[in-house]
Copies of this chain bind each other. A is one copy, B any other.
Amino acid sequence: MAAQVAILLLSGGLDSATVAALLRRDGYAIHALSFDYGQRHQNELDHARLIGQTMGVASHRILKIDLGGLGGSALTDAALAVPEDGVGAGIPITYVPARNTVFLAYALALAEVLQVRDIFVGVNSQDYSGYPDCRPAFIEAFGHLAAVATKLGVEGEAPRIHAPLQHMRKAEIIQTGLALGVDYGLTRSCYQLDAEGRSCGRCDACRLRLTAFAELGQSDPAPYR
């Protein structure tokens, strides 16, 4: 049987680490792709690297891209404050315009170069911040685009976008990862990590994560300040 090969968007966070563990369980060779996009939580990338190593990825590319240069998000613009008062209705200021569209576009480019059809992404739309580009409709629309946008698609081997966590709650995701031996102490979700890699415990991402660990009766192994 030919080995299965996957491209994985790996962020340093909890979700994509869980997807990596699922792929490892299923025997995939993983080509990881991360982005240095001017995020204020830069050492997220150190964690992405560590997770990649732990999961034994076949390759790991970190692309430096100029997304922060466009502005408009609290995650890339230090002049905008990250909200700390809980997950609200609507799309928050931490939304990075078209981030997942840009990330998946690069994944599509890598799929063409490596001739790999299967692209995995850790988005989910249950316990999330309400970003438009995390919803199932987005993943589906990108799948349609992938078929017509690529040489692989023209040749009848259209890339497939997989979002295996799409309909899972955050606690289910953590439970799945724990059963697969994921060390969540290596992952970071916080939008405003400090220089020592400690999380704030107050931003949306921290709140969703801490609530999920609490729901499982577990404590989060990652450090908080």
Question: Interface of A with B (CB < 8 Å)?
Answer: 61, 63-67, 69-72, 91, 95-102, 104-106, 108-113, 132-133, 135, 137-138, 141-142, 144-145, 147-151, 153-154
Contact = CB atoms under 8 A, between A and B. Distances in A.
Given A69-B61, A113-B70, A100 B149 contact: yes
A64 B66 contact: yes
A215 to B, nearest CB: 28
Given A132-B150, A149-B132, A102 B106 contact: yes
Q: Is the interface of A mostly helix, strand, loop or mixed?
A: helix
Nearest to A130: B154
7 contacts: A70-B113, A97-B112, A101-B105, A132-B150, A132-B154, A133-B150, A137-B148
A185 B106 CA distance: 33
A106 B91 CA distance: 19
A70 B145 CA distance: 20
Contact of A91 (B105, B113, B154): B154
